[in-house]
């Protein structure tokens, strides 16, 4: 999964999108001037290869790439406080926020938001209010409803950052976070939302963390066959798509250059690798990397969105408009607390 530099597809990018190892693109704020331009950009990608998976990080709160022409989704960590701790009410609100986020993206023919965040809020500043709660059971309950809302709009769910990024302070975008806790501590706390939602078959995708759990395995989770195969695939019986986190992040640097990082991630068990904000890295992978001959067992294209379902929901409008108002109310209440 590669990215695009600007508001249109360049000639070089158009050539790269045809490469058989490109399975999707991830969009950023720089790709969106307004909704009509964004829709035209997506159409231009579809004209090149209609089957590509088009994704974005559009969680809500501070991680929402598109704002002009889109509803502002509240931070997930604001939902329960705004509901004054009423978990039943917060679950209803989470479902409508998931629906709202997904339906507006799908209406632009964008398949996937890498959401929800299943990290349990702890000491991580980069997670913070991106997490639903500091309680694993509350994260599980609220995330499940958020996913139901996404699914009702026609979008699959990708939980991140497995097995949990909330209990380590360093930001893997700029550093190599190390979590020294035991396997029992990680499994009993951070991993619980993943275990619960995989068990209830709510997750179609998972994105692992660029975190080293040093007392468990020497490799960051996204480059660890222990975490991705032994724990995620075998112990938790996850049968969906594993996306790497961005290979350009500092937390991926242990594996060397992009060729080394790609090999390590694929060997560990990732089905699709993300390369963002580095066209040189994309070019290296498409021209120099020795791609595995075998097709991935779990194809990311199975996560394409149901745009017909989302457009029908928008035409009916009542739920969409109510969800828009709810999102504004949650943000307003949270700001007053």
Phi, psi of 214 (to 5 degrees): -65, -25
Lowest mean pLDDT among 125-139, 198-212, 256-270, 288-302: 288-302
Give the Cα separation of 6 and 1 in Å (integer). Answer: 16
Which of helix, strand or coil describes residue 113?
Answer: strand
User: Per residue in 271-288, pLDDT tens?
Assistant: 999 999 889 889 999 999
Nearest CA among 261, 263, 278, 249 for reference residue 177: 249
User: Per residue in 52-70, pLDDT tens?
Assistant: 999 999 999 999 999 999 9
Q: C-alpha 31: how far from its chain's center?
A: 18
The CATH code belonging to domain 1-336 is: 3.20.20.300
Q: What is the end-to-end Cα distance of the chain in Å, rounded?
A: 40
pLDDT higher than threshold 60 for residue 255 = no
Cβ pair 121, 135 in contact under 8 A = no
Residue 6 to residues 18, 79, 191, Cα–Cα distance (Å): 18, 33, 37
pLDDT band at 297 (very low <50, low <70, confident <90, very high): low
- Could you give the percent of the chain with pLDDT greater than 90? 78
Residue 317: strand pairing partners: none
pLDDT higher than threshold 90 for residue 311 = no
pLDDT at 334: 94
pLDDT higher than threshold 60 for residue 259 = yes
Nearest CA among 180, 208, 190 for reference residue 264: 208
Give the Cα separation of 65 and 47 in Å (integer). Answer: 23
- What mean pLDDT comes out for the span 114-122? 95
Residue 27: strand pairing partners: 56
pLDDT band at 174 (very low <50, low <70, confident <90, very high): low
pLDDT at 314: 72
Number of residues that this document lists for the chain: 337
Ordered by start, the domain boundaries in the chain are: 1-336
Question: Which residues are known to be catalytic?
Answer: 173, 245
User: Per residue in 55-110, pLDDT tens?
Assistant: 999 999 999 999 999 999 999 999 999 999 999 999 999 999 999 999 999 999 99
Which of helix, strand or coil describes residue 179?
Answer: strand
- What mean pLDDT comes out for the span 290-295? 78
pLDDT at 171: 60
- What mean pLDDT comes out for the span 243-269? 79
pLDDT at 249: 61
pLDDT band at 204 (very low <50, low <70, confident <90, very high): very high
Q: C-alpha 264: how far from its chain's center?
A: 20
- Could you give the percent of the chain with pLDDT greater than 70? 94
Cβ pair 214, 178 in contact under 8 A = yes
Which of helix, strand or coil describes residue 51?
Answer: coil
Q: Is the dihedral of CA 128, 66, 285, 22 positive or negative?
A: positive
pLDDT at 278: 87
């Amino acid at each position: 999964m590669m990215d695009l530099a600007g508001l249109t597809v360049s000639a070089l990018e158009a050539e790269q999108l045809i490469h058989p190892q490109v399975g999707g693109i991830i969009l950023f704020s720089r790709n969106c001037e307004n909704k009509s331009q964004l829709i035209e950009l997506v159409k231009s990608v579809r004209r090149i290869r209609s089957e590509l998976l088009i994704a974005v990080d559009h969680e809500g709160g501070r991680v929402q790439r598109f704002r002009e022409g889109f509803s502002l989704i509240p931070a997930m960590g604001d939902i329960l406080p705004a509901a004054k701790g009423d978990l039943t009410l917060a679950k209803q609100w989470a479902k409508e926020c998931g629906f709202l986020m997904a339906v507006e993206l799908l209406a632009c023919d964008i398949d996937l938001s890498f959401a929800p965040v299943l990290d349990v809020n702890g000491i991580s500043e980069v997670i913070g209010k991106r997490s639903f709660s500091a309680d694993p059971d509350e994260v599980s309950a609220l995330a499940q409803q958020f996913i139901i809302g996404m699914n009702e709009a026609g979008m699959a769910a990708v939980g991140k950052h497995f097995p949990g990024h909330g209990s380590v302070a360093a930001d893997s975008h700029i550093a190599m976070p190390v979590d020294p806790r035991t396997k029992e501590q990680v499994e009993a706390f951070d991993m619980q939302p993943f275990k619960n939602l995989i068990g209830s078959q709510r997750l179609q995708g998972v994105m692992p963390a660029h975190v080293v759990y040093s007392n468990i395995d020497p490799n960051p989770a996204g480059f660890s066959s222990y975490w991705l195969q032994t724990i995620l695939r075998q112990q938790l019986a996850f049968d969906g798509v594993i996306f790497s986190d961005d290979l350009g992040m500092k937390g991926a640097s242990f594996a060397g250059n992009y060729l080394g990082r790609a090999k390590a991630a694929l060997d560990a068990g990732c089905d699709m690798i993300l390369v963002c904000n580095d066209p040189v890295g994309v070019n290296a992978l498409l021209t120099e990397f020795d791609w595995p001959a075998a097709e991935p067992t779990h194809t990311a294209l199975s996560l394409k969105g149901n745009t017909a379902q989302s457009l029908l929901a928008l035409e009916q409008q009542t739920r969409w408009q109510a969800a828009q108002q709810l999102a504004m109310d949650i943000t307003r209440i949270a700001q007053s607390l």
